[in-house]
């Protein structure tokens, strides 16, 4: 990993909340929605980063491929790819519209295919790079009001683990992969939720933890760390008992019922 953090290194940060922990000597390429784009660029440049920003609808495959081609021409090959885009509607299945479901899948998981396929060939050619998939704890445990969101985050985990297996099987040992599964983050995306198990995580804590995991080439980054000790219960306990635990002790459904987010489809 250290070699890729020399001055010529480049990273593509897809819809990042806080990218200012990355190496200032690198050229950081940010793809983001317009509401977050300029703020992210300003923060990076204030910290002394060289930054290029691109406005890309990552739910549109051809636009992703066009933007990736432009990045390679203007900046160079991407060596660190962070897929972090996400939206959430937080409605029960019967209250979700067909369009909302399709939008969630397009942004939260299908975009990972387009961005990764766009930048992976150059990583494979040099057998060097790092792909970071930002999923969620809701991609490990299904959550009330998140049939669309949780499903896409589960898909992110499956996508990441399968790609990891493919790369290792075919000898690409120097293309590292890190799967990040944070608890709810206090960005406004889950505004109104009242988590009972742990308090919401602060964005800076998540960003710093994620960067540390990348620098260490860690395979998994679950936040907070002690969430991991609850995960085996899902496999060890009978399904009914597991649900009772979540409903009565964790109070998962109750914690989500006050959700208001940032709007009808909330972006993270």
Beta bridge partners, 53, equal: 30
SS3 259: coil
Q: Quick one: pLDDT at residue 256?
A: 67
Catalytic: 65? no
Which residue, chain included where needed, has tokens 């049939």?
Answer: 147
For 62, phi then psi, to 5°, come to -65, -35
Nearest to 37 by CA among 57, 60, 23, 21: 57
| Mean pLDDT, each 10-residue run in order, the chain (268 residues) | 31 45 58 70 83 88 95 91 91 95 96 97 97 95 89 98 98 98 86 79 92 95 87 82 73 64 49
What's the predicted TM-score (pTM) here?
0.84
Alpha carbons 32 and 145: distance in angstroms, whole number = 26
* DSSP class of 53: E
Are the C-beta atoms of 177 and 163 separated by less than 8 Å? Answer: yes
Tell me the torsion sign for CA atoms 32, 37, 39, 45.
positive
255 Cβ contact list (under 8 Å, min separation 6):
144, 193, 194, 195, 196
Q: Where are the domains of the chain?
A: 2-267
> How far from 118 is each of 3, 77, 94, CA to CA, in Å?
22, 10, 36
Q: Which of 149, 164, 183, 184 is catalytic?
A: 149
What's the distance, Cα to Cα, between the start and end of the chain in Å? 28
CATH class of 2-267: alpha beta
Dihedral, CA of residue 47, residue 48, residue 52 and residue 56, to nearest 10:
-10
Are the C-beta atoms of 146 and 138 separated by less than 8 Å? Answer: yes
Burial of residue 60 (CB within 10 Å: 0-12, 13-18, 19+) is middle
Which residue, chain included where needed, has tokens 């479901």?
Answer: 101
Dihedral, CA of residue 185, residue 190, residue 191 and residue 195, to nearest 10:
-70
């Amino acid at each position: 990993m250290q070699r890729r953090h020399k001055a010529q290194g480049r990273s593509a940060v897809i819809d990042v909340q806080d990218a200012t922990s990355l190496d200032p000597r690198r050229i950081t390429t940010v793809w983001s929605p317009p509401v977050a784009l300029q703020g992210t660029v300003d923060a990076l440049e204030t910290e002394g980063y060289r930054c290029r920003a691109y406005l890309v609808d990552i739910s549109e495959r051809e636009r992703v491929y066009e933007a990736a081609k432009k990045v390679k021409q203007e900046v160079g090959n991407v060596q660190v790819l962070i897929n972090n885009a996400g939206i959430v509607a937080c409605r029960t299945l019967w209250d979700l519209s067909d369009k909302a479901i399709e939008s969630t899948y397009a942004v939260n998981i299908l975009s990972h295919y387009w961005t990764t396929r766009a930048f992976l060939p150059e990583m494979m050619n040099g057998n060097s790079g790092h792909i970071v998939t930002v999923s969620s704890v809701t991609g490990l445990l299904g959550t009330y009001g998140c049939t669309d969101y949780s499903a896409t985050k589960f898909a992110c985990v499956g996508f990441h683990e399968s790609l990891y297996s493919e790369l290792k099987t075919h000898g690409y040992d120097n293309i590292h992969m890190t799967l990040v599964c944070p608890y709810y983050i206090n960005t406004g995306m889950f505004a109104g939720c009242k988590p009972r198990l742990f308090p919401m995580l602060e964005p800076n804590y998540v960003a710093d933890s994620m960067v540390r995991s990348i620098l260490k080439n860690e395979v998994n980054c679950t936040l907070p760390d002690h969430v991991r000790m609850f995960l085996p219960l899902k496999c060890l306990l009978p399904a009914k008992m597991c649900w009772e635990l979540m409903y009565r002790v964790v109070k998962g459904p109750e914690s989500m019922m006050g959700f208001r987010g940032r709007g009808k489809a909330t972006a993270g």
